[in-house]
Structures are given as structure tokens and as C-alpha cells.
A and B are shown apart, each in its own frame.
Chain A
Amino acid sequence: MRYWIFFLASTLLGMYSLSASAQQDTPSLDLNRIQRATVFVIQASDSDLDTRCVGSGTIVRFDGLILTNAHNVVPSEACPGNELIISMSLEANEPPVPKYRASIAQIDLGLDLALLRIDRELDGRIIEPENLPILPFVELGNSNDVILDDTLTLAGYPDLGNSPTLTQRVAVAAFMAEPSGGDKSWFKLTSNSAVSGLMSGGGAYNQQGQLVGVPTSAPITSSTTADNCLRLEDTNGDGFVNSDDACVPISSSVTVIRPVNFARSLIRSASLQLSVEPLTAPPPQVVTSEQPSVDDERLYFATSVNNNLATQVIGSAPAGTTSLYLFFDYFNFTEETVYEVRVSVDSVPSDVFSLPPVRWSGGTNGLWHIGSTGQPWSNGNYEFRILVNGLVVATADITVGGVPSEQASFSNIVFGIKDDDGILQGESYILPTGNIASTRFIYRNLEPGTEALFAWYYNGVLLTAASDIWTSDDGVDGTRDDISIEPEGGLRPGNYRVDLFIGTPPRLSVTGDFVVAGTPEGVLPNVFSNIEFLRAANAFSPPSSVPATSFTDGANTIYAQFDWQQIARGTLWTMQWLVDGEVFYEQTSAWNTDETGQDFQVRLTAPDGLPDGTYTMNLIINGVLLESSQVSVGIGQLGINRLEEVGGLQMGGQIVDADSGEGIDGATFVLITEDFSIADFVWDAEQIYALAIADRNGRFEIDRPLEFDSPYSLYIIAEGYLPITQDGYLISQESLEEAGGSPLDLLIPMTKD
């Protein structure tokens, strides 16, 4: 018996040890750091700084870059404020205090994300970048690693700035898929989360304390209304606060989170202050007087997506379905458009599969899908209602349940051009101009005698339609690639679509879109060519005439230019820029210049010149990389800034008079790098790891995290006091835990001289 007891005890001890070591290896949720990095964003009028709108934000870099929702900061009819005031809590349990002003550094209205840069004191004075203190910031996590039922911690200010930062644990109930971001375009929260709408723009953190998303409430626009609108100030100065005064809209509660991976390119470009400007044909500003609409005659469902196309149109889904998407064509949408999808199951609203009102992140016209994958869709009749700017514009329903359908079907459509041997080449969704385009698709359960209809469209207009009677030679299941289109005059550049119907009356079974552009050349069309990089002295001077792929002595501005051919106006194309392999710019827009031309010019610049690095320009249509080129600047890679490292120990404390216990105003706390001892220290700033000056209470803060187990030297001086020095000051994880955890709070008594 005692052997069993010994065995059990040993096993439990071993498990505990493993658990303890695992906990030590995994960074824990540092709530203090999260709270300090969370800011309260006030959008105020520029004249008298009346509060117009409020929200939360998160500092994501040491130099004061703040990630928040675009709708918190962009002036609009509902939020007519041009000044952005940044408030922060000086203590974790205190409401925020206005500290700085900020400007928009990067913004994507469609994604509803914005990056602010702290650039002014509260009184409007400019802060030189070198004078801005190192601010507490949080590390970005990989939002793709979030899984269903993960517990996230939300941080933000829950009200109009009367409360301290609130941290709230929520669970991920579902993911929503959209073309702009794949299957994890949105994280849905459980319906009982009850997250204040003013926490919109704040942060959602994983268990390691990494920022993985931005809680996002419905944007308040002129066409939507706030749940509440609070009148706080006498904005018209008539001595009364009444309905004539502007109010602060309070949006509905947060039910979705925008994954942080959407913000990475914005953060990269904002931190490096890079700007890309297409000069030959800037992306058109979408100004339309027509109302956004959805083709309510053409809504269909699919259980899987390939290149943003439905692999197969379905009329019903079997029991056990875990993925379902609704597809629809949209027209006249803009970044200002707010859309919403309400899903009900057997007439009961479903929070899990519904998407609350969000900004539109697609283009003006096109094909869209919304749905979710990786979670069970229980049996029932699902009704989807699409709302645009608060109005229902289309509805569709589908039944989930029963056994898998044995209905005849087409699926997995791709396009290509046949070679001389009749083999389909370049299977993709972009084809060159020419004579014939062919499609390949899979068919199942096609009995002989079944009628199939193939309808081809060019830029939305029916081009041709043909029917075919299935024969026994075709077989019941298989693949066909003999369906082609050969329009009169050949394939012109533009957008094409093919619909494949089965039976009588015709039932849509699969549909596919492709783009025709460029000239035939190998597997892919030759659309873009001859990318060249030219250097310029500054953003306003013309480029040199000598192209190069390496500027070893640096570059202030680079002009990239390329030739193009056979691209129809309106064709969606994507220009993507990377630095050292990381995307910092990606813009998909409609082509709006000549079909063919030379030297399409793009300017890449930064206010202080381009940082060293390897820059890559990719030109993409329909997800296919058509042309790419690189240019190296300086040493060809970005410099390493150790201030960007988020890990480590936060340290602060109080320097006091040893006799009276009162704080010593202006005492200086010097932390010398591990490379130097007190004896080596010659008062050179390059020897200093961090430096802090005590405030009127003797309190100080080291603004840079300390590395664990690194032997620093300390030098503390104050006028009229004996200096304190110490070599080999190091802190381990264990000693920090014993001292009460991060931040480490020191009490340093000094003796009078």
C-alpha cells in the first residue's frame, strides 16, 4: 500500500513540477502593462475642444503609436471633431487624465482600424520625437492562432472616462469569414459578454498578454443611430445644456473583435513612416450618388470557398455541416457603408452566426461572401438578412439537416487556355487576351439526359449561353474542360463570369469569375513588366534617370515604375509593398487609366528618408502574383531597435530622504548597461540603459523594460545627498515573484551629505 502511496505522490509531484516549469516558460498575462498601455481617445472639436466622441485605444509601440477603431477618430457627421486627445490612467485604479494630442498616422476606414501618433502636448505644443518618453506598449500576437472557445481579455475604458481601465474576460464563440480576411475576418463574442461600446478600439489579449484583436462596436454614422447620445457640455455657449447642444454618441455593445493581423501592415508603415503613392493613376475616390445595393435575385450558399468563389452552389446542407457561406453581388458600396447580416435559425435570432453592423471592407462593386467555418451549424432553417445602412436589402435562406444530397452538381471551377494538345494551361482566375477561354469543373451524379446550361458574361452583360445534354459517354462523375467561350473579336480585357446550371428549370450549380488582361506569355498572362527603381533626392524632386536594384548609400525617395498592357478600366488590381518580407502597404483598387502604357509611376518615401531595408513591390490581380521586383536600400535590412522589445521587467519606485522619509524631488536614477561597472562609468549617455528623474514625490519610473538576469549597475544621485552606487544589480523571475511581481517597486532612502 505504501508503495502505491509513494508512487502516487511521486506522480503528482512530477506533474506539479512540469506544470510549474511550463508556467515559467510561458509569458503570463501582465495586466498592469496592459492597463498602462490602454488609452482613452477623445475626439474633440478643434475650436473649443468640446468632446464629440470617445473610445478606447492601445499603445502598440514605444514611440506612441496607438491602435484604435477608425470610427473613433475620423471626423464625421456624428463625430465632428478634428482634435484627438489621448488620456491615460496614471495609476491602474484611476480614471484617465488627458495627457497628449495625437494625429492619424495610418487609417483603413473599411477595416475600421486607425493608428494614431502622439505628436503634441495637451496644450498643443509639438513634441519632438526624441523628447517623447518611452511609453508602455503591448506586444502583437498572431490572431490566426486564436481558436474557438479561447478566453480573451478585453481592455478598454467602459464609460465616458469616469472609470479606470476595465479588463474583462470573454470567450470566442465563432469566427466570421469575409473575402478581405479569410475565415478569421472577425471574432464573435458570446452573447452574454456585455462589453461596453466605449471599449471599442481597445485591446483583446490572449493568455500570453499579446494583443490579438481590436474590440469593435457598430460605427456611428449619419445613417445609423447611437444607442444613447449624452449631452455633457454647453457646446453652443448659450448657458444651457439642452437639445441644441452636441451630444456624445454611445455606440452599442461590442460583439465582435477585428483580428490584429489586419493592423500589422498599418503598424509597419506607420512605425517606419513609409508612404506609397501611385502617381500615374491614383486610386479613384469613390463618390457615388447611387445607394449601395445587393442583387437580391442572386444570393446563394456554399460550404467551401476557393479563391473567394463558391466551390459549389448548394440548395441545402447536410446535418453535421461545419462551414456555410452566403454569396452575393454588391453595387455602389463605399468605405462609409455600414453593413450587417442578421441570421435567424427557425425564426430565432442567432447571435453566433450574425454579424453586427460593421464598416464595408470590400470595393465598390463585386462578389462578397460572409459565413463561418470550423463550428457546427445545427439542423434548422437559416434565414440570412443583409442590411445596408440599417435597411434590409436582401434575404436568403437555407436548410441544414438530413443526409448529404445526391443531387447532380458541378463544382470546383477554374479557368485556363488550352495548348495545341488541347490541355488546359494556367488554371487560375486570370487569363490573357486571346481567342478562347476554357473552364474546368467537376461534375457528380449527372445522369444521361440531364440538361446543362452554360452562361458567359462580360462586365455583367450576358455574352453567350449554350446548353448541353449529358450523355452516357460523359459518365455520371468526372471532370470536364471542354466548355469554352470564343467571343467575336476575341477575349477583350475585362471581368468575365460563367454560370453553370443543371436541369429544368435551370438550377445554378457553380459560378466563377475571372479577369482577362495582358498578353499570352507562358502559363500566366503578361500584364505588368519592366519594374524599375529610380532614386530621388526628396519626395518633391524628379527621379534620376538611372535605374538600380541597390542603393547602398541610402535613398530618400524611390520611384518605382512599370509598364502594363491590356488592362480594362475597372479591373481590380492589387499593389503590395513589403520591407524585409513584411507587408506595409496593400491597396486593391479599380484600374483607372489607359489599357496599355508605360512607366506607371509609384513613389515610396519617408520624411527622414527611407530606412535601410529590402523593399519588394508585388503586382497582383485576382490573387495571382503577376510581377514582383526588389530594391535594396543601404545595408539591405532594417535596423534593430531594442526599444521595440516588449518583454522584461517594469521598474519604478520612490527615492526618499532617509531621515524624514519625504520624496526627493529631482533625484536621478541611472541604470548602467551590463557592459559597464560603476568604475567604468564616465557619465556618457551611451553607457546608460535607462535614466529616470524623480517627481515632486520622489517617485520615478524606468520607462524601458529591464532584462531578467542581466547585471546592471545603479547610480543614484541627488543634490545634497550622498550618492548610492551598486554593481551587479540583477533580477530573476523568481526574485521578482518574491518581490510581488512586475512592476518592481523600489524604496531608496538617501542620506544627506
Chain B
Amino acid sequence: MQVIEIISESEGLTLRQRWATVFVILMSVLFMLLGLNLRNQVLNATTLYESPQAGVTALYPQNWLLDTTGSYVFRVRDMSRSGFKTTFQVSVQAIGADAQERNLADRLSLDRIVTFTDYRVEPLEPYIFADGREAQALNYIYVATDASPFLQPIPTVVRGLDILTISGGQAVVITYRADANNFDAELPRFEQFLRQLQF
């Protein structure tokens, strides 16, 4: 019986093959980085909002719904979110010359306690803007329900954060609200919003 031994050719890769492998790996990494960059650009894309009357300029997340018809300067909401729509809002209120952020926080809480379900507020904390301006941060929590009487929504626990500051003789309230489960995940986006906000 004749035995035929089959053995592999053990000669190494050619130089060309080696470079091709390296090039493919490099290209893969490069395209991955490019994809990540594109994704980040899409996710972090912003739209400019300017209100000369209120003296407010902001960059808000692209494709969030802009609303200027309420009792605020503007409000943007992420309508793609299920449940409570993550919201950034800037409002301006008249305030007395002697009033401080503390008084403003009390006013807001007293207003909200009659309109929000199960409104709970935490102690004020200091907050410093990127440009060094000082403010106060008001954290709170409440339960939100869709307003339509003919639907059957499940109430959502909402966490809120108000940055309160007094500027130019008026109180500026910058609000962030999100589903309590998403609050921390969305917080960096709000911080970026705050960094780019001018008033």
C-alpha cells in the first residue's frame, strides 16, 4: 500500500500579503472610527435657537421639537422617546430687586405643588456655569400623566433639574426633565446644552 503524505506548504506570507493584512486592519479601524465619529455627529447634532427679545441663544439637540408658544422662552422635547419626552426649557420671570435664587426656588415649588402630582423637592445645591457665573440647582421629582382624558397612559416618574440664576434683573430658569430611568443617561446632553447656552 502506497502512502501519500499530504503536507501543507509551510512557506510564510509574502510581503505583499502581510501589507495587505495590515492595510485591511488599519482600514477597518479607520472606518470604525469614522463611523463612530459620524454617529456622534448625528447624535450630538444641534440646532441654533436665538431669541433677541429674551436675549437667549442656545444650541439644542437636532430633531427635538421646538416650542415657543407657552409661558417660556422656548422648550425643546425629544419626541422619539417613549414615555415622558425628555425636555429642556428656558424661561424668564420678573423678580424683585431683593429676591434671590432661594426665593425663586420657593416660588417655583409652591406653583408646582398645585399642578404636579406628588411633587417632591430636594435641597438647593450650588451650580457654577462654564463661564464662572454662580447659580443654584433645584432637583425635584414628580409624576406625569398624559393629559388626554380618553387615553389610558401609565403615569411616569419624572426627575427634574432647574438651574436658577438671576441675570439682568430677571430670573432665568433652565429646566431639564426626563423619565427618572433616563435622567442620568441624558444628563451629559443637558450639560452640553448648558455649556452652549448664552443669556
Residues of A within 8 A of B (CB): 36, 88, 90, 99-100, 121, 123, 125-128, 130-133, 135, 664-668, 670, 682-686, 688, 691-697, 699-701, 703, 717-720, 723
Contact (Cβ within 8 A) B114 A701: no
Kindly provide the distance from the CB of A745 to the nearest chain B CB, expressed in whole angstroms. 13
| Assembled-state Cα–Cα distance A302/B63 (Å) | 74
Contact (Cβ within 8 A) A719 B81: yes
Give the secondary structure class of B's interface. Answer: loop
Kindly provide the distance from the CB of B191 to the nearest chain A CB, expressed in whole angstroms. 22
Most chain A CB inside 10 Å of its own CB: which residue of B65, B68, B81, B150: B150
Contact (Cβ within 8 A) B117 A685: no
Find chain B residues with CB under 8 A from A88 CB. 149-150
Find chain B residues with CB under 8 A from A700 CB. 151
Contact (Cβ within 8 A) A131 B154: no
Name B60's closest neighbour in chain A (CB-CB): A683
| Assembled-state Cα–Cα distance A665/B116 (Å) | 22
Given A128-B115, A670-B79, A683 and B65 touching (CB < 8 A)?
yes
Which 4 residue pairs spanning A and B have beta carbons closest together?
A666-B82, A695-B151, A685-B67, A695-B153
Further contacts, 4 of them, CB under 8 A, given A100-B149, A682-B66: A90-B152, A666-B83, A691-B79, A696-B154
Contact with A along B159-195 (1 / 0, CB 8 A): 0000000000000000000000000000000000000
Find chain A residues with CB under 8 A from B147 CB. 127, 131-133
Contact with A along B71-101 (1 / 0, CB 8 A): 1000000011111010000000000000000
Kindly provide the distance from the CB of B58 to the nearest chain A CB, expressed in whole angstroms. 14
Kindly provide the distance from the CB of A247 to the nearest chain B CB, expressed in whole angstroms. 29
B127 CB within 8 Å of chain A: no
Find chain A residues with CB under 8 A from B81 CB. 666, 719
B70 CB within 8 Å of chain A: yes
Kindly provide the distance from the CB of B64 to the nearest chain A CB, expressed in whole angstroms. 6
Contact (Cβ within 8 A) B150 A125: no
Kindly provide the distance from the CB of B113 to the nearest chain A CB, expressed in whole angstroms. 9
Contact (Cβ within 8 A) B114 A693: no
Contact (Cβ within 8 A) B114 A695: no
Query: Of A125, A666, A686, which one neighbours B114 at CB under 8 angstroms?
Result: A125
Find chain B residues with CB under 8 A from A683 CB. 47, 63-66, 79
Name A703's closest neighbour in chain B (CB-CB): B148
Contact with A along B117-137 (1 / 0, CB 8 A): 100000000000000000000
Name A135's closest neighbour in chain B (CB-CB): B149
Between A and B, 15 residue pairs with Cβ closer than 8 Å are: A100-B149, A123-B117, A665-B82, A665-B83, A665-B154, A668-B79, A684-B66, A685-B69, A686-B69, A695-B148, A696-B154, A701-B150, A703-B148, A718-B82, A720-B82
| Assembled-state Cα–Cα distance A723/B63 (Å) | 12
Find chain B residues with CB under 8 A from A718 CB. 80, 82
B106 CB within 8 Å of chain A: no
Kindly provide the distance from the CB of B120 to the nearest chain A CB, expressed in whole angstroms. 14
Residues of B within 8 A of A (CB): 47, 63-71, 79-83, 85, 114-117, 146-154
Query: Of A130, A668, A694, A703, which one neighbours B80 at CB under 8 angstroms?
Result: A668
Kindly provide the distance from the CB of A416 to the nearest chain B CB, expressed in whole angstroms. 59
| Assembled-state Cα–Cα distance A126/B119 (Å) | 13
Given A685-B65, A696-B153, A701-B151, A127 and B146 touching (CB < 8 A)?
no
| Assembled-state Cα–Cα distance A701/B117 (Å) | 23
| Assembled-state Cα–Cα distance A685/B69 (Å) | 8
Kindly provide the distance from the CB of B78 to the nearest chain A CB, expressed in whole angstroms. 9
Find chain B residues with CB under 8 A from A692 CB. 148
Kindly provide the distance from the CB of B189 to the nearest chain A CB, expressed in whole angstroms. 15
Contact (Cβ within 8 A) A126 B115: yes
Contact (Cβ within 8 A) B149 A717: no
Kindly provide the distance from the CB of A62 to the nearest chain B CB, expressed in whole angstroms. 13
Name A717's closest neighbour in chain B (CB-CB): B80
Query: Of B63, B68, B153, which one neighbours A685 at CB under 8 angstroms?
Result: B68
Name B67's closest neighbour in chain A (CB-CB): A685
Contact (Cβ within 8 A) B151 A125: no
Find chain B residues with CB under 8 A from A127 CB. 115, 147
Contact (Cβ within 8 A) B65 A99: no
| Assembled-state Cα–Cα distance A719/B81 (Å) | 5
Contact (Cβ within 8 A) A697 B154: no
Kindly provide the distance from the CB of B128 to the nearest chain A CB, expressed in whole angstroms. 31
Contact (Cβ within 8 A) B71 A130: yes
Most chain A CB inside 10 Å of its own CB: which residue of B63, B71, B114, B151: B151
Find chain A residues with CB under 8 A from B68 CB. 685-686
| Assembled-state Cα–Cα distance A411/B151 (Å) | 64
Contact (Cβ within 8 A) A719 B82: yes
Kindly provide the distance from the CB of B62 to the nearest chain A CB, expressed in whole angstroms. 8
| Assembled-state Cα–Cα distance A717/B79 (Å) | 7
| Assembled-state Cα–Cα distance A90/B150 (Å) | 5
Contact (Cβ within 8 A) A699 B63: no
Contact (Cβ within 8 A) B149 A126: no
Contact (Cβ within 8 A) B79 A90: no
Query: Of B114, B149, B152, which one neighbours A133 at CB under 8 angstroms?
Result: B149
Find chain A residues with CB under 8 A from B66 CB. 682-685
| Assembled-state Cα–Cα distance A691/B67 (Å) | 12
Most chain B CB inside 10 Å of its own CB: which residue of A90, A666, A692, A699: A666
| Assembled-state Cα–Cα distance A720/B80 (Å) | 9
Kindly provide the distance from the CB of A667 to the nearest chain B CB, expressed in whole angstroms. 7
Kindly provide the distance from the CB of A223 to the nearest chain B CB, expressed in whole angstroms. 37
| Assembled-state Cα–Cα distance A610/B15 (Å) | 87
Most chain A CB inside 10 Å of its own CB: which residue of B70, B79, B148, B149: B149
Find chain B residues with CB under 8 A from A135 CB. 149
Find chain A residues with CB under 8 A from B148 CB. 133, 692, 695, 701, 703
Find chain B residues with CB under 8 A from A667 CB. 82
| Assembled-state Cα–Cα distance A88/B149 (Å) | 8
Name A699's closest neighbour in chain B (CB-CB): B151
| Assembled-state Cα–Cα distance A703/B147 (Å) | 11
Find chain B residues with CB under 8 A from A695 CB. 146, 148, 151-154
Name A681's closest neighbour in chain B (CB-CB): B63
| Assembled-state Cα–Cα distance A699/B153 (Å) | 9
| Assembled-state Cα–Cα distance A504/B147 (Å) | 76
Name B119's closest neighbour in chain A (CB-CB): A125
Find chain B residues with CB under 8 A from A130 CB. 69-71
Kindly provide the distance from the CB of A660 to the nearest chain B CB, expressed in whole angstroms. 15
| Assembled-state Cα–Cα distance A718/B152 (Å) | 18
Find chain B residues with CB under 8 A from A723 CB. 80
Find chain B residues with CB under 8 A from A125 CB. 114-117
Find chain B residues with CB under 8 A from A720 CB. 82
Find chain B residues with CB under 8 A from A128 CB. 71, 115
| Assembled-state Cα–Cα distance A718/B81 (Å) | 7
